């Protein structure tokens, strides 16, 4: 459908002194897709987005943006817009003045004021469009930054944690804007720490860990990397359920690894493949034990993140010292 990659990185390296921020990164983002970058703090997400935006040049490797090779000169490629480390805004100007100023800087002032109002409405800032940005919350600044990035009608939008500081309604609004943009054929590359956000928004995700790609592909495939999950069950007969679990092949009873909750003294936590869990459920029902709650202790996407980035061990250790 789309003949080229909007972003194509091969063996990209970026260092800051002794720190290797990106260590041979490959990235393919098909045109028209929403692609998420995820990874622990310091994994290299912002650095990679900065290279795509032309804010810095790679030390080694190749990077093609919208089919054009990025050179060593620092400049935003044609058709690309976005921000890293928060949007750059003029704090003393109003939201509307910020966007009008951006247009003025491009010599487009008078013709597009209606478009500016429409954009402010789309990102949920219509009512505060006349307020000075210096009084804006983090979420409001994020929304205005998104509107500013959309002004030029980008073919590739690059956003570093755009959902940062947004309330649930704001997140929904931003999702809608990004989805509409992708539906119109543009490409979006964004970073996020929220796996639920990425799952609901992105076609594909790339998981970075310590500057390397440890997964890249569709979100459902990432979930499949979670390995064995811990499942938490609340039943009508905790003692009886423990006995049934102990007799279920391939299933182990464990102490909750993460997310202890109220009522956990009544909960049974088991680890094993899905088929073994299915057997346990059938046996519990057969034994007349009602299942009142059943779900993974850590959602599959988060579990995959923890397993692939090696952060799972830290969490286990934390649990055992409680
Ligand atoms: N300008 C810089 N000078 C020195 N080191 C830097 C610079 N920018 C990034 N780094 C280092 O490069 C590594 C990657 O940082 P980066 O900001 O890309 O990670 P990130 O995945 O975006 O992290 P976070 O989730 O915390 O935003 C980190 O070790 C960071 O300290």
| pLDDT tens digits, one per residue of 176-191 | 999 999 999 999 999 9
- What DSSP state is assigned to residue 86? S
Same domain, 18 and 145: yes
Which residues, listed in sequence order, are joined to residue 159 by a DSSP beta bridge? 83, 190
- State how many domains the chain has: 2
153, 50: one domain: yes
d(Cα 178, Cα 147) in Å, to the nearest integer?
11
Judge if 188 and 233 occupy the same domain: no
Q: Each residue of 210-252: pLDDT tens digit? A: 999 999 999 888 888 877 888 999 999 999 999 999 999 999 9
Co-location of 161 and 265 in the same domain: no
83-87, 116-120, 218-222: the lowest-pLDDT one? 83-87
State the residue range of the domain holding 301.
227-320
For residues 210 and 233, state if they share a domain. no
Angle at 300 between CA 213 and CA 169, to 5 degrees: 90
Query: What gap in Å lies between CA 225 and CA 207, rounded to an integer?
Result: 12
Residue tagged 């992708």 (tokens): 182
pLDDT, mean over the chain: 87
Are 194 and 151 contained in the same domain?
Answer: yes
Which residue, by CA, sits nearest to atom 29 of ligand 1? 42
Provide the CATH number for the domain around residue 304: 3.30.70.250
pLDDT bin (cut points 50, 70, 90) of residue 164 is confident
- The preferred substitution site among 14, 21, 211 for testing ligand 1, maximizing ligand atoms within 8 Å of CB, is 21
Residue nearest to atom 12 of ligand 1 (CA): 21
All residues at 6 or more sequence positions from 120 whose CB lies less than 8 Å from its CB, including other chains:
95, 96, 99, 126, 129, 147
Residue of 12, 15, 46 to test ligand 1 pocket, by largest number of atoms within 8 Å of CB: 46
Is ligand 1 within 6 A of the CB of residue 50? no
pTM exceeding 0.90: no
How many Cβ atoms from other residues are within 10 Å of residue 110's Cβ? Answer: 8
Q: Domain containing 205 — which CATH number?
A: 3.40.50.300
Bridge partners for 232 per DSSP: 269, 295
43 CA distance to ligand 1 middle (Å): 7
* Closest approach atom of ligand 1 to CA 14: 12
Of 167, 189, 218, the one marking the end of a domain is 218
Position 102 pLDDT exceeds 90: no
* 192 within 8 A of 32, measured Cβ to Cβ: no
Give me the sign of the Cα torsion angle 262, 266, 272, 276: negative
Q: Does one domain contain both 192 and 288?
A: no
What is the per-residue pLDDT for 256? Answer: 59
Residue 168 scores a pLDDT above 90: no
The per-residue pLDDT for 249 is 92
Q: Which of 12, 13, 14, 16 to mutate to test the pocket of ligand 1 (most atoms within 8 A of CB)?
A: 16
pLDDT-based confidence at 319, cuts 50/70/90? very low
Same domain, 124 and 267: no
- Residue nearest to ligand 1 atom 5, measured at CA: 16
ipTM score of the complex?
0.97
43 in ligand 1 pocket by Cβ < 6 Å? yes
Determine the average pLDDT of the residues in 133-139.
Answer: 91
Same domain, yes or no, for 23 and 104?
yes
What is the radius of gyration, based on Cα positions, of the chain?
Answer: 24
Distance 109 CA to ligand 1 centre (A): 37
Of 218, 246, 262, which residue sits at a domain end?
Answer: 218
Confidence of residue 46 (pLDDT cuts 50, 70, 90): very high
Higher pLDDT, 297 or 12: 12
Q: Could you give the count of Cα atoms lying within 13 Å of 234 in the half-sphere of its Cβ?
A: 10
Strand partners, 69: 64
Distance 18 CA to ligand 1 centre (A): 12
Same domain, 207 and 247: no
Looking at ligand 1, which residue's alpha carbon is closest to its atom 17?
A: 46
The domain boundary residue, chosen from 177, 193, 218: 218
Same-domain status, 231 and 114: no
% of the chain with per-residue pLDDT over 90: 58
Which range has the worst mean pLDDT, 92-101, 246-255, 303-312?
Answer: 303-312
Q: How far is the CA of 15 from the centre of ligand 1 (A)?
A: 10
Give, to the nearest 10 degrees, the angle between helix 95-105 and helix 113-122.
130
Residues 6+ apart with CB under 8 A from 206: 27, 35, 36, 37, 38, 213, 215, 216
Residue 76: per-residue pLDDT: 72
Confidence of residue 74 (pLDDT cuts 50, 70, 90): low
At 7 the pLDDT is: 96
Q: What separation in Å is there between the alpha carbon of 47 and the centre of ligand 1?
A: 6
Binned at pLDDT 50, 70 and 90, residue 279 comes out as very high
CA 208 to chain CA centroid, Å, is 11
At residue 116, φ and ψ (nearest 5 deg) are: -60, -45
Mark whether 168 and 275 lie in a shared domain: no
């Amino acid at each position: 459908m789309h003949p080229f990659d909007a972003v194509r990185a091969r063996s990209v390296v970026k260092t800051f002194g002794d720190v290797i921020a990106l260590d041979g990164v490959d990235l393919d983002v098909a045109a028209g897709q929403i692609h998420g970058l995820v990874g622990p703090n310091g994994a290299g997400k912002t650095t990679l987005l900065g290279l795509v935006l032309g804010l810095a040049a790679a030390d080694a490797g190749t990077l093609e943006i919208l089919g054009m090779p990025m050179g060593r000169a620092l400049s935003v490629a044609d058709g690309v817009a976005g921000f890293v480390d928060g949007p750059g805004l003029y704090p003393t100007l109003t939201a509307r003045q910020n966007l009008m100023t951006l247009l003025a800087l491009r010599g487009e002032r008078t013709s597009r004021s209606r478009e500016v109002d429409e954009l402010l409405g789309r990102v949920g800032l219509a009512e505060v469009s006349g307020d000075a940005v210096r009084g804006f919350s983090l979420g409001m600044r994020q929304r205005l930054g998104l509107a500013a990035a959309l002004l030029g009608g980008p073919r590739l939008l690059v956003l570093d944690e755009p959902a940062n500081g947004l309330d649930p309604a704001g997140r929904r609004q931003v999702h809608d804007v990004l989805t509409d943009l992708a539906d119109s054929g543009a490409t979006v590359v964004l970073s996020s720490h929220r796996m639920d956000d990425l799952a609901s928004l992105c076609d594909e995700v790339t998981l970075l860990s310590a500057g390397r790609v440890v997964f890249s592909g569709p979100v459902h495939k990432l979930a499949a990397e979670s390995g064995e999950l811990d499942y938490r069950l609340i039943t009508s007969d905790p003692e009886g359920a423990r006995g049934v679990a102990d007799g279920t092949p391939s299933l182990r009873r464990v102490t909750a690894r993460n997310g202890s909750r109220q009522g956990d003294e009544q909960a049974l936590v088991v680890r094993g493949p899905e088929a073994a869990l299915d057997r346990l459920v059938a046996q519990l029902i057969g034994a007349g034990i009602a299942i009142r709650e059943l779900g993974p202790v850590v959602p599959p996407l988060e579990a995959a993140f923890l397993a692939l980035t090696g952060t799972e061990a830290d969490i286990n250790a934390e649990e055992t010292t409680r």
